[in-house]
Amino acid sequence: MGTSKSYEGPTGHTPLLPPWAPDPPPEPDDEKGLGGSPAPDDTPQLPEVGEDLPRWSVPKSAMTRYASTGGRDIGHVRRASSGFVSAQGGARLAAAGSISGRQAAVRMGGVFAAALTEGAAGLLRFLGAQHVGSDIESLLSALVDAIAPAGSLAEEAAARAAAAATIEDVFELYGVDEGGLEALDDLPPEVVGDVMERYTAEYVFTRLMETLASRVENGAGSAQEVCRMERDIRDYVTEQIRYELSERDVLQIDWNGPEAGRLVESVFTEAYTILEAWR
């Protein structure tokens, strides 16, 4: 599910990758397997997102119409999102092609499950003893590297951008930015499910904008308008996915076993299904 152009974050305002996260390398010219590594034999192979083929005309046209109205008709975003999933063969294939995204989601769930049960010690055990005593900014950077390593493909860049945004949001939400790692000792039980919902929604939004952001940029009247519309799309898409995702008993999951992979794939499939059903 790679693209010809990696989405670099909303134009003119805070990007998805924060300043401390290194930029992903550019897309390679040669074709590679989805997610930067050969997919298992039973993993469906998806067409390149953004190829100039008829199946992509619907979501691209819808996003162009959204921009041409100045972002006033959110119905065009629904149609663009639905077409984005349908063009990949539907929700199941879109989820199957989200290889780096699903791998990062499993690591993300494992990290915060450990933090929930062990506090700061669980997070440091994941990162390694060399990070004991590091400042929060360094820990954020190390977590992004460990959860979603930098890669050369757009799908890998999306996983990394979503991981960076999610970790930053969660650290701010639960007071880690101000209180330090000790704040992890008081995490509520719902933190793991919250993180999974946030990450999945952020990843899907990033993949959507990798494909369709240029339509907003080309159709908007000003840079300020682009920023506003991209922000509105992000809020609309991520909030809708998070609201609709059903609750799961993520606390009983063995994040080092196959059950975690199955859980994450079901969450991704459900997220894409939500978009596909929009009209």
pLDDT digits (tens, 9 = 90+) for 188-199: 989 999 999 999
The b-or-e profile of 163-197 (16+ CB within 10 A means b, else e) is bbbbbbebbeebebeeeebebbeebeeebbbbbbb
Percent of the chain with pLDDT over 70: 81
* Per-residue pLDDT at 132: 83
For residue 50, pLDDT over 60 is answered with no
pLDDT of 160 reads 97
> Global pTM?
0.80
The reported pLDDT for the residue numbered 136 is 86
**Using an 8 Å Cβ cutoff, are 132 and 218 in contact?**
no
The pair of structure tokens assigned to 132 is 């004991």
* pLDDT(129) > 90: no
Instruction: List C-alpha distances in Å: 84 to 61, 111, 113, 181, 186.
Output: 11, 31, 32, 39, 40
* Mean pLDDT in residue range 211-217: 91
Give the per-residue pLDDT at 247: 72
User: How far apart, in Å, do the first and last CA atoms of the chain sit?
Assistant: 23
